[in-house]
Amino acid sequence: MSLIVLGLNHKTAPVEIREKLAFNTQETIREGLKRLIQTEGINEAVIFSTCNRVEVYAYSNEENESIIEKIKHFLSDFHNIPIKDFEEYLYIYIDRDAVSHLFKVASSLDSMIVGEPQITGQVKDSYEIALSERATSLILNHLMNRALFTAKRVRNETRIGENPVSVSYAAVGLIKKVFDELSKKFILLVGAGEMAELAIRHLIGSGIKNVYVTNRTYARAEELAREFSGTAVPFENLKEHIARSDIIICSTGAPNYVITEQMIKEVMLLRKHKPLFLIDISVPRNIDPACNELDNVYLYNIDDLQDVVDSNILERKKEADKALSIIEEETEKFFQWLNSLQSVPVIVSIRNKAEQVRQEELEKFKARFKELSPEVLASVDYLTQSIINKIMHSPTVALKNNCDSKEILIFAARRLFGLDSEEE
Amino acid sequence: MGTIFFELALTLYFAGFLLSLAGIVRKKDDLDEAVFLLSVGGLALHTVYLAVRYIKSGQAPVFSMHEATSFFAWSILLISLCIRFSYKARVLNFGVILSFAFMFVSAFFPRSIPSVKPELKSLLIDFHALMAVFGIALFSIAFIFSVLYLIQERAIKYKKFGGIDRILPSLEILDRINYRLVFWGFPIYTFALVIGMIKYVSLLGFRFDPKEIWSFLIWIVYLTIFYLRVKGDWRKKKAAYLTIVGFLLVIFGFFGINLLTESFHKPL
């Protein structure tokens, strides 16, 4: 019996291949699961498909090689693509490696952006589809639940997802360190660079409602303003509009400082020194760096933002090490559980046999000593029971415990207690 | 008198203090819920202690160093909890640390009930003393928020993150809380001073002791902060610096003047 995961992701396969093998809708996943479950040798299955990865998890009681071939054929038939076209991009993990891989995926350690939060939800959704299709049972149900639990532990016990790792998100994070209710703040977009647009989009997602856009070409300002449901303002009145805004994102193609220290000094007087957050995404820079020296003015240029992102990435990598040890621990726990499943039938058989022997001997004893009172017989019954329990205690513990020689122990137990001869 | 409640409260505060410290050092707020529960439990027991003392002695529990420091700690924690509810800002940790520090100090002062002169046994004097201590507790929390503001501001200005800025709310919130504390603290402190002055003059005439002069100095500083803030001229960083100066005067007034000078106000 073994656990197998076969799949490909953004690290192993180009996007063209990932696209071809993707299960894009819930229906295709359901259809795929139905086919997988009908495949001989596959007892349980889960299909996990996102834009970055396609993975098939299977629990099987056949030879690994044959199951791997069956899954490859399934993918090939289902997507109508020859095996040779995708085979080289596949990774295959078995048993412990498969469990550890799933835990890493669910905890977002295997993601393109380590620590991104969506992946756990995607794993959960895939599991729910498999559950509703009755494609999972005891083993994969437990495995998937442990994967979600592990992801939760990683999220709670490490800071893996805490700091933003894209420039525009980092900018939003910084703005939130200064301002509280973004919905009441005014933002001014100076120029129309691509990165500035992205930052504004994230800001709008974070609650910013009041957007001004200004550009040397007024028509372009109007066009952008429409896109963000904002207001276009003339470039000539820049100072006035800076005074009215709380956040300025500057991204023009100008070769010099569009916003000068003197301008901000005057603006701050008009604003009664209310904090002003400036983001300069232009290269060459369009905001005089000296502005940052002014009280209640915070200026970040593209390098500053990149530094914040880099240190956040570093932080996430450090946290990933902590996460790996959690995953190691949880993988171990899962295998303890899996191993305990193997010994349960043996323990039950031994106990049944012992109980059967006890009952037989007890009957013989009762037939031989008919004159004994019920109290004495009850005592004998109790005595035999406790002798059996005491004798059975050590073998039960040995079988339940996880150790390297577990399979030998199970084999030995079957022989020692004559379980195989009986079954035969 | 009800000392067991004091010991129990002190124990809970200590646990809260340790968890708060752990939260700050680890730069995570996962212990905040436990800190909150310990604070509420500690505050409840502390309230019972103060109430028992008040009922049994018939005078406000603020006339000895033990009582004043313990009531000060109680006020700080109460205010910190109010801030947590009002602003959802996860900064209770800092209040708990300050509150425990004063509670701990109060444990070293004699706990016997001070015998207050019969002419000072009046509801007005009780009000005066309770409000004065509560007012400076508000100023003390304002001090904490000023320090936190400066820490957060420095991190943003110099682009050095990863310290306790991680668990702090935005500058805007820190400044708003600071403003509110001074906004409430100043009238309460003024009111306490006025009541005290009226009662004092009626008893002793116009001759002032060092404590009163010092209190007046504190009042002047907070009047300045209050005026500049309400007017809107001084905000943020400058207000934070001035609040820190105010707190240093408050603390010297509380311990230094009380213990070093001979005055009518010397704790019993």
Over residues A273-307, the pLDDT tens digits come to: 889 999 998 878 889 999 999 988 999 988 888 88
Is 70 exceeded by the pLDDT of residue A182? Answer: yes
Q: Quick check: A213 and A189 in contact, CB under 8 A?
A: yes
Q: Which distant-in-sequence residues (6+ apart) come within 8 Å of A179 by Cβ?
A: A185, A246, A247, A275, A277, B170, B171, B172
- A156, A159, A178: residue with CB nearest B172: A178
**Token code pair at residue B102:** 């004063």
- Would the CB atoms of A177 and B173 count as touching at under 8 Å? no
Is 80 exceeded by the pLDDT of residue A20? Answer: yes
Q: How far apart are CA B132 and CA A313, in angstroms?
A: 50
Residue with tokens 């009664």: A272
**Which residue pairs, CB below 8 angstroms and at least 24 apart, start in A319-323?**
A319/A115, A319/A158, A319/A159, A319/A160, A319/A162, A320/A109, A320/A114, A320/A115, A320/A158, A320/A160, A322/A157, A322/A158, A322/A160, A323/A107, A323/A109, A323/A154, A323/A158, A323/A160
Catalytic: which of A51, A250, A291, A403?
Answer: A51
> Pairing mode, if any, of strands A231-234 and A210-215?
parallel
Report DSSP state, residue B210: H
- Would the CB atoms of B236 and A176 count as touching at under 8 Å? no
- Which of A160, A291, A294, A296 has the highest number of chain B CBs within 10 A, making it the mutation to test binding with B? A296
Q: How far apart are CA B107 and CA A353, in angstroms?
A: 69
- Would the CB atoms of B159 and A308 count as touching at under 8 Å? yes
Q: How far apart are CA B37 and CA A361, in angstroms?
A: 61
Which residue is closest to B161 within chain A, CA to CA?
A: A308
Same fold? A2-162, A167-308 = no
Please list every residue in chain A whose beta carbon sits closer than 8 Å to the beta carbon of residue B161: 308, 311
- Asked, as a colleague might, if the bond just before A284 is cis with ω within 30 of 0, I would say yes
Is 50 exceeded by the pLDDT of residue A404? Answer: yes
- For chain B, say whether A84 makes contact (Cβ under 8 Å): no
Q: In angstroms, what CA-CA distances link B161 with A221, A317, A319, B153, B231?
A: 35, 17, 16, 11, 33
Among A13-17, A54-58, B115-119, top mean pLDDT goes to A54-58
pLDDT in tens, A190-202: 987 777 777 788 7
- For chain A, say whether B156 makes contact (Cβ under 8 Å): yes
Q: How far apart are CA A44 and CA A60, in angstroms?
A: 7
- Can you give the pTM of this predicted structure? 0.70
- B162, B173, B237: residue with CB nearest A295: B237
Pick the CATH number of A167-308 from 3.40.50.720, 3.30.30.60, 3.40.50.620, 2.170.120.30: 3.40.50.720
Proportion of chain A above pLDDT 90, given as a percent: 47
| Buried b or exposed e, range A169-188, using 16+ CB within 10 angstroms | bbbbbbbbbbbbebeebbbb
> Is the predicted ipTM greater than 0.90, yes or no?
no
pLDDT in tens, A116-163: 788 899 999 999 999 999 999 889 999 999 999 999 999 888 888 777
Please list every residue in chain A whose beta carbon sits closer than 8 Å to the beta carbon of residue B170: 176-180
- Would the CB atoms of A272 and B232 count as touching at under 8 Å? yes
Please list every residue in chain A whose beta carbon sits closer than 8 Å to the beta carbon of residue B30: 156
Active site residue A291: no
Q: Quick check: B138 and B188 in contact, CB under 8 A?
A: yes
Across A90-99, A385-394, B83-92, B183-192, least confident range: B83-92
Counting as low any pLDDT under 70, the low residues of chain B are: 1, 89, 206-207, 232-236, 257-268
Q: What is the mean pLDDT of residues A266-271?
A: 90
What pLDDT is attached to residue B260?
A: 67
CATH number of A2-162: 3.30.460.30
Phi, psi of A67 (to 5 degrees): -65, -40
Torsion on CA atoms A70, A76, A82, A85, rounded to nearest 10: -90
Proportion of chain A above pLDDT 70, given as a percent: 97
- A177, A273, A307: residue with CB nearest B236: A273
- For chain A, say whether B205 makes contact (Cβ under 8 Å): no
Ranges of each domain in chain A? 2-162, 167-308, 343-423
What pLDDT is attached to residue B23?
A: 85
Closest CA to B246 of B220, B216, B221, B227: B221
Q: Quick check: A326 and A158 in contact, CB under 8 A?
A: yes
What pLDDT is attached to residue A424?
A: 42
What pLDDT is attached to residue B111?
A: 84
Phi, psi of A23 (to 5 degrees): -100, 95
Q: How far apart are CA B39 and CA B31, in angstroms?
A: 12
